[in-house]
Amino acid sequence: MLHTFFILLLIYALVVGFFALLQNRLIYFPSRRMIAPEDAGLEKVEQIQFLTSDGIRLSGWYLSPPSQAPVLLNFNGNAGNLAGRAHLMEMARQNGWGMLLFDYRGYGGSAGTPSEAGLYRDSRGALDWLRVQKAVDQSRICYYGQSLGSAVALELAAADPPAALILEAPFTSMKNLARELYPWLPVSLFLRNRFDNLESLRRVYCPKLIVHGRQDEVVPFRHGKTLFEMAPEPKQFLELNTHHNDIFENGGPPYWKALRDFVNRAAAPVNSAPAKPEDPTTK
């Protein structure tokens, strides 16, 4: 009996060690496939590169806004790269906004290897590029994060507040999410990537729009709701009947109206008359 116990304990220790060593592979799913903006059907989009504070060269796409319109600084989720997010830039164009899409380190055409600290440096490098190279005032910049990107956007917002912050399918913390996914693992002991959104959110006082799908099978709906309840004012919550990866496609008119009204109210120049674009998903 004792012999069996020690064998099971050894197996468990090996499984824990496996998850501890390979945790980055369970969090980050980068794609190295890259295409030019024009190959993604995007016109007048600039292909750019910039350096982070630790010398990592990142790649991105930039859509210049008309006049003094809002600019969305986008923070992607944990899979793929910017090549699969051309629809976001087309959405920004149709709304009369600018947008910076960029790849985290280790994704797409960007150098390096992803990590929590690294992604935070990447976000700072992207913001610095916008402000220095394109002279975009902070009062016009909206941070727009999806899933894992919500954590990156939140951390940057706590340090350098934007005009507005949009979080789609956010989680309360990586530790909380990992505990739900792997309740039999001591994740608190070995998890290096913490992404503590609850802690970051307490320091964010800009206008916030939190969007979450009721049917989210990756990040349970209660995570978004908890973040909203804990967030300082001003804040807005949009509940959709969507899953984790189909908010853009299936959010419908409530999503498009909430997004458009929120950004234009928070970051559009005074006396501007924003366009009323068609729903991009109907194109």
* pLDDT tens digits, one per residue of 51-104: 999 999 999 999 999 888 999 999 999 999 999 999 999 999 999 999 999 999
The Cα angle at residue 97 between residues 150 and 277, in degrees rounded to 5: 105
Contact assessment for residue 224 and residue 247, using Cβ atoms and an 8 Å cutoff: no
Confidence of residue 265 (pLDDT cuts 50, 70, 90): very high
Residues 136-160: what's their mean pLDDT?
Answer: 97
196-225: average pLDDT:
97
Please state the domain extents for the chain.
2-282
The CATH H-level (homologous superfamily) assignment of domain 2-282 is Alpha/Beta hydrolase fold, catalytic domain (3.40.50.1820)
Given this model, what pLDDT does residue 274 score? 42
- Element of type H or E holding 146: strand 141-146
Identify the pLDDT of residue 8: 64
Query: Residue 252: which region, alpha, beta or left (left: phi > 0; alpha: psi -120 to 50)?
Result: left
Between 3 and 162, the higher pLDDT residue: 162
Q: Tokens 């944990």, residue? A: 78
